[in-house]
Structure 1
């Protein structure tokens, strides 16, 4: 992983962890907190294995290939949140009130999780 890719990876991990402690996030991924701490430090010599990069990609709502493309060329692909917003925006005119309500409930439940 190149230094700019490493920095983007560290940023992605920090964003996914959010307000959770490193230990809480490590438990979600089934990894040690030391690994997460190392990943969040772009100067670290600890590089993630492919299976762990895939875990991060899935949490971002991306495939491994999409996530790696984002790391290699950050300006070329919107992140998963931006893609989701575009999908919702494109579908908004045809969504029923109950479908919109369901989306809002999912978001509220997710915010409660954080």
Structure 2
């Protein structure tokens, strides 16, 4: 997993006091003190803008900041959660809802049903291509023989029209309804002008499938 391959101490870094020199990139960042202890981990789509007014700047301005560029912004949340789980920085909250037990029997059972539902009439190769994994992986998930990594759940959430957190809430049993179910229930209360915009967005999405 990425958190086992990357050493935050070996990444590009600058003193936080020189934050105006930070690059404008999407990344995972690590705030490191003078004893080489990671005090805080975060993610952002623009590092320079994020730290221009970060609420923890005064608390950490004598530290340095290193960063790991991430080209696909939709993976930021999942990768950040993995680094936080590994390093447990003192200034991060550790009840991170993205750190879940994907190996539990209940999770595997619900995830298996979800994969079967997503697959529908598609072949294993087709759904594997949609999710960026191999077709044996899809089969193993369906048969509850292996568990997904958090980053595997990002394209699944996209395919279901949900955020990663909404998908995890569903799989953990802490959300009774999916994002699509909530959207369908809210249609009656959507203003006509917003409903037209929603229909146009749906039409555009269907054209690009």
Q: TM-score range by the shorter chain?
A: 0.7 to 0.9
Specify which of 121, 132, 147 is matched with residue 19 of structure 1.
121
Q: Which moved more, 1:46-55 or 1:32-41?
A: 46-55
Q: Quick check: which one's helix share is greater?
A: 1
SS of residue paired to 1:84:
helix
TM alignment of 1:37-52, pairs within 5 A: 37-42=139-144, 44=145, 46-52=146-152
Q: Which structure is richer in relative contact order (CA contacts within 8 A, separation 6 or more)? A: 1
Q: Equivalent residue for 1:68? A: 168
Contiguous gaps of at least 5 residues in structure 2:
1-102
Task: Give me the TM-score of the superposition, normalised by structure 2.
Answer: 0.43
Q: Would the alpha carbon gap of residues 28 and 89 (structure 1) be closer, same or farther in structure 2, given more than 3 Å must change? A: same
Note the C-alpha offset of 1:100.
8.3
Q: Equivalent residue for 2:96? A: none
Q: Would the alpha carbon gap of residues 15 and 102 (structure 1) be closer, same or farther in structure 2, given more than 3 Å must change? A: same
Confirm or deny that 1:87 pairs with 2:186: yes
Distance 1:27 1:101 in 2: 28
Specify which of 150, 153, 157 is matched with residue 53 of structure 1.
153
Q: Quick check: which one's strand share is greater?
A: 2
Larger radius of gyration, structure 1 or 2? Answer: 2
Task: Give me the TM-score of the superposition, normalised by structure 1.
Answer: 0.74
Q: Equivalent residue for 1:28? A: 130
